[in-house]
């Protein structure tokens, strides 16, 4: 089994954890490895297609990333479906389309991809591409939060803080904020990335030394 296939298997097992978002980056940071990935991707290797898409995303070559994510997503690969949704969500390599973002997040979440639940929560909370529904948003946040995703834990805390889809409960809100604050598996090296708004928890801001944004 090729190294990139092994990396994708690990990625699939992690099922949307932050580590999945950066799996294989050390192994794809040279032209030779990227060429090998591209060769296998062009031959229809789903693992290579997905990992090449991730590599191009990290390199900010979004149009190329979208191409490979789409190929793997159409063959049912959950990580690729999530990142295809992400591309439509933020207009990376393709025109922004919240409806298509929601559709691909739904497909990935149905396959157990944790981050897709969080991002669906964002869309339902804001009414982007779907009918606004705080209860559905809360349900998706909770599913991802219970699987350890820091972004979702923070978002769920905000739902309790403002009583969106749940009764306002500052004790419960602080519980989830604290879980996000102390979560060792945050997305990326700088902490929270995909949250529902620009709202900031003072403890998180002080600890991370940065603002919380709505990007991923």
185 pLDDT tier (thresholds 50, 70, 90): confident
Q: Where are the domains of the chain?
A: 1-10+21-101, 113-216
**pLDDT value of position 195:** 65
CATH number, domain 113-216, options 1.20.1050.40, 1.10.150.120, 1.25.40.10, 1.20.120.160: 1.25.40.10
Confidence (pTM): 0.79
Q: Per residue, what are the HEC states of the chain?
A: CCHHHHHHHHHHHHCCCHHHHCCCHHHHCCHHHHHHHHHHHHCCCHHHHHHHHHHHHHCCCHHHHHHHHHHHHCCCCHHHHHHHHHHHHHCCCCCCCHHHHHHHHHHHHHCCCHHHHHHHHHHHHHCCCCCCCHHHHHHHHHHHHHCCCHHHHHHHHHHHHHCCCCCCCHHHHHHHHHHHHCCCCCCCCCCCCCCCCCCCCHHHHHHHCCCCCCCC
For 32-90, write each residue's pLDDT tens digit.
Answer: 889 999 999 999 999 999 999 999 999 999 999 999 999 999 999 999 999 999 999 99
């Amino acid at each position: 089994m090729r190294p990139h296939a092994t990396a994708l298997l690990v990625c699939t097992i992690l099922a949307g954890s932050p580590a999945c978002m950066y799996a294989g980056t050390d192994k794809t940071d040279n032209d030779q490895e990227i060429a090998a990935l591209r060769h296998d991707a062009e031959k229809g290797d789903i693992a290579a297609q997905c990992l090449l898409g991730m590599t191009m995303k990290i390199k900010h070559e979004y149009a190329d990333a979208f191409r490979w994510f789409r190929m793997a997503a159409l063959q049912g690969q959950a990580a690729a479906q999530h990142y295809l949704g992400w591309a439509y969500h933020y207009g990376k390599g393709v025109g922004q389309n919240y409806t298509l973002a929601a559709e691909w997040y739904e497909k990935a979440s149905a396959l157990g991809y944790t981050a897709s639940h969080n991002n669906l929560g964002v869309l339902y909370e804001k009414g982007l591409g779907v009918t606004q529904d705080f209860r559905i948003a809360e349900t998706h946040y909770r599913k991802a939060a219970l699987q350890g995703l820091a972004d979702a834990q923070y978002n769920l805390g905000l739902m309790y803080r403002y009583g969106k889809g749940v009764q306002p409960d500052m004790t419960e809100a602080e519980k989830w904020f604290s879980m996000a604050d102390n979560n060792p598996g945050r997305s990326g090296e700088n902490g929270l990335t995909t949250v529902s708004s620009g709202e900031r928890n003072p403890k998180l801001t002080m600890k991370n030394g940065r603002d919380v944004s709505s990007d991923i």
